[in-house]
Amino acid sequence: MHITDLDVLGLGPGGRLACLGLERATVLGGDPQGLTAMVDALDLFFATLDGDALRHTLWRMGFTEDLSTLQVVGDPLPDRASWVGADAARALLTGPDRSIRIQVDISLDPLQFRSLREWAVRSPDLVSALSVGPTLRVIVGWTFERSLEAVSLGIAGVEIGGVRVPSAGVERPEWLTPFLRGLVGRFCALPRGWRGRDPVAVCWRDALLSSDPARQRAHDALSRALAGLPFGLERARPVRWNREGCRVVAGPSLRPVETFGPGAVEGVEVAAAVHLLGAEILAFQWPGRGLDPAEVRAWLSRQAEDDASPLEQVILLDPDAPDARKLGS
């Protein structure tokens, strides 16, 4: 699947943010505050669909430094969260009414479309919706309490193929909740998405040692990617270091990648994000510390457009890119 349109109220400069006609590989430029708000909106959108995702997203966004102080209520979809401290919510909001509305349009992949067709046997309303095409629109709403230490959230609307699907109460079809929860984990914003995860070296080592063929393929693909352009890290691999530690090394002498310079470290992080995180849609906010931005952009674009790639979409955020699309265009 990939995101085609994003329309947000309550975030970004002026309290309104739109990003329409996103392609499988898109470079977005413009106001850095607006780009950050776009990533925030997508993080909040996917967090609305799962309690654990909500908890960790709020933690990564700085709402709390202690997960034990963050309370999430609601099952199977979260409907309220609370924490201690108002600074993060105050910094996030731009509107006076303490509310956020996020509308995301998604082009579904063949497996998702097939699952809806199977449900259509028991839900006749889906038949006409699916005849239009594999398009999904979901609207979520967040309303913060006056204290800015709690928020009520939930699904405000769902459309499939332009046909409205009841999203609340007894009219909500039984297939809708598991289908929406199936979107969780498909989006990740970098570098924020690494927070709370094991270091790259540990994730890579786990893939190398895993008995799961998919994880083994991810290890092999990451090794091949780092050996080629634009990274040029031959024989890159994770190794035990000082008995208990784990580091990524490369080159004939298997030196730690840190000794090759900041570009090498960034290259490992970028390539590992593509092959190890398990997300289909990646938004990159890396400023670049040594790699050629044009070459990295070209490589990432190929990852979204290559049929053999684990990615479906790459959104590159670069305020200074001369050929970048502007938010709202």
In terms of residue numbers, what domain contains 114? 2-184
Per-residue confidence (pLDDT) for residue 189, from 0 to 100: 92
pLDDT, tens only, 37-63: 999 999 999 999 999 999 999 999 999
Domain membership of residue 317 (yes or no) is no
CA 143 to chain centre: 22
The answer to whether position 320 is within a domain reads no
Does any domain span residue 277? yes
Tell whether 328 is covered by a domain: no
Q: Across residues 102-122, what is the average pLDDT?
A: 88
The domain boundary, picked from 184, 218, 244, lies at: 184
Whole-angstrom distance between the N-terminal and C-terminal Cα of the chain? 22
Across the strands, what pairs with 299? none
Cβ distance 237 to 248 under 8 Å? Answer: yes
Q: Are residues 113 and 241 in the same domain?
A: no
Give the mean model confidence (pLDDT) for residues 243-251.
89
Mean pLDDT throughout 293-300?
85
Taking all residues of the chain, what is their mean pLDDT, rounded to a whole number? 89
What CA–CA distance (Å, rounded) separates 74 from 154? 10
**Overall number of domains in the chain:** 2
Segments in the chain forming alpha helices (H): 32-47, 51-60, 87-92, 110-120, 125-132, 176-181, 200-209, 213-227, 262-276, 293-305
Assess if residue 318 is contained within a domain.
Answer: no
Assign 81 a pLDDT band (cuts: 50, 70, 90): very high
Q: So what's the pLDDT on residue 287?
A: 61
Cα separation of 68 and 55, whole Å?
10
Indicate if the pLDDT at residue 241 is higher than 60: yes
Same domain for 148 and 207, yes or no, is no
DSSP secondary structure string, 136-179?
A: EEEEEEEEE-TTSSEEEEEEEEEEETTEEE--SGGGS-TTHHHH
Locus of tokens 């970004």? 12
Domain membership of residue 322 (yes or no) is no
pTM for this entry: 0.91
Q: Which of 184, 214, 231 is the last residue of a domain?
A: 184
Judged against a pLDDT cut of 60, whether residue 329 lies above it is answered with: no
